[in-house]
Amino acid sequence: MRTLFSPRSLFTTLAMLVLSGAACAQIGVGISVSFGPPELPVYEQPICPGEGYIWTPGYWAWDAEGDDYFWVPGTWVVAPQVGYFWTPGWWGWGGSAFLFHEGYWGPRVGFYGGINYGYGYIGHGYEGGRWDHGHFFYNRSVNNVNVTEIHNVYNTTVVNNYNTPRVSYNGGQGGINERATAQEQAAANERHIPPVAVQSQHVQAARSEQQLRASVNHGKPPIAATSKPAAFNDRGVVPARAGGNYNPPPRSANTAGRPSNSPAVHPNELPAHTRPAAPNTGNQKLDQKYQQQQEKLYAQQEKEHQKLQQKQDQEHQKLPQQNAPNKQQMQQVEQRHQQQTQQLEQKHAQQQQQMQSRQQPHQAPPQQSSPKPPK
């Protein structure tokens, strides 16, 4: 049995995932955290700086070094290609941790967790604008646009029938219970463009701002949105009007002797995997099949944890037999063990999420009619 300890210091790994097809499009850069991000803050959208800019909503990102969530302000970004839309990144429960799914540009908006980011991103699709003959038309009902400078506008009321707008993650306790539609799954297989350079710079700038850390602003960032990426000192900066609930788990005494922001070093320092609950699709034979698959994966992962722990224990036992291993040797061993543990847990989280995705019934895409903008 593995020893339980505070989920606060569970693995927080940043690794490029070598996946193919839809899985790669959905997961992107994998960041795993044991507890969910704060609720989404309430803020006003800055005015659109010019034609061709598309709104990219703010979200909570994770800083492994700081052991904390930080707010990435919403901002306007020039589309990298005519006809492309932004699919926001999102957090989703992967079975043993929350995984971050990186956003991307593409010809259609894909799945973003059913999260209501506002300003056209109401959980599924995008109602903030559309492309027409090489020009982007803005829906003024959800976008702050100066019509004296931008004439490609229209007005269509957006009916918001989706989940509570402040929930910032999919699945897990308190998370949004939404699944990708068939149309969104097809969009995930289309050609994508990752976040452009200014978006990456925007994230890095947000990471360096202490006031944007959840532990400092308690879910109410003073810079909630900007008119352009990384423009944190411009007059167009918008603060949050209301904060999101933030209840991080307490730090545990079991991690004493290691920095509080350190990931687990050995498998026995990780929380035990939650035993899979029985599926309930309404088809008894199918549920039995799914349950067997889940139990098989659970047993396999437990075996892999035990095997890695035994291997690491043997390496520890060999150390005293050598000629007085110095501090540097010990650090090298512990660093190697930490990397092995993180990689294994990341692998397990991916396996659980992929199985959960395969076992979820596909939904037919909703029949919606989108109004055409005036020409």
64, 179: one domain:
yes
pLDDT of residue 224: 97
∠ CA(125), CA(239), CA(201), 5° rounding?
A: 65
Q: Is residue 218 part of a domain?
A: yes
**Domains identified in the chain, total number:** 2
* Structural tokens at position 55: 């709104």
Q: What is the dihedral of CA 184, 188, 194, 200, to 10 degrees?
A: 50
17, 120: one domain:
yes
Q: Which comes out higher in pLDDT, residue 22 or 99?
A: 99
Q: Where are the alpha helices (DSSP H) in the chain?
A: 21-27, 182-188, 197-208, 214-217, 284-318, 327-359
Q: Is residue 18 part of a domain?
A: yes
pLDDT of residue 299: 86
- Phi-psi domain of 26 (left: phi exceeds 0; alpha: psi -120 through 50; beta: other): alpha
Q: Has residue 24 got a pLDDT over 50?
A: no
270, 222: one domain:
no
Q: Is residue 374 part of a domain?
A: no
What percent of the chain lies above the pLDDT cut of 70? 76
66, 14: one domain:
yes
Q: Is residue 199 part of a domain?
A: yes
Please compute the mean of the pLDDT values over residues 345-374 and round it to a whole number. Answer: 64
Distance (Å) of CA 344 to CA 5, 10, 17, 270:
18, 13, 13, 11
**74 DSSP β-pair partners:** 225
139, 55: one domain:
yes
Q: Is residue 238 part of a domain?
A: no
Q: Is residue 372 part of a domain?
A: no
Structural domain boundaries enclosing 324? 266-359
48, 170: one domain:
yes
117-164, pLDDT tens digit by residue? Answer: 999 999 999 999 999 999 999 999 999 999 999 999 999 998 765 445
29, 100: one domain:
yes
Please compute the mean of the pLDDT values over residues 308-330 and round it to a whole number. Answer: 68
Q: Has residue 26 got a pLDDT over 80?
A: no
pLDDT of residue 196: 96
92, 154: one domain:
yes
- For residue 75, which phi and psi values (nearest 5 degrees)? -160, 165
Write out the H or E segment, with its range, that includes residue 339: helix 327-359
DSSP 20: -
pLDDT of residue 360: 65
200, 133: one domain:
yes
183-202, pLDDT tens digit by residue? Answer: 998 888 888 999 999 999 99
200, 311: one domain:
no
What percent of the chain lies above the pLDDT cut of 90? 44
306, 158: one domain:
no
218, 277: one domain:
no
Q: Is residue 259 part of a domain?
A: no
Q: Is residue 293 part of a domain?
A: yes
How sure is the predictor about 19, in pLDDT bands with cuts at 50, 70 and 90?
Answer: very low
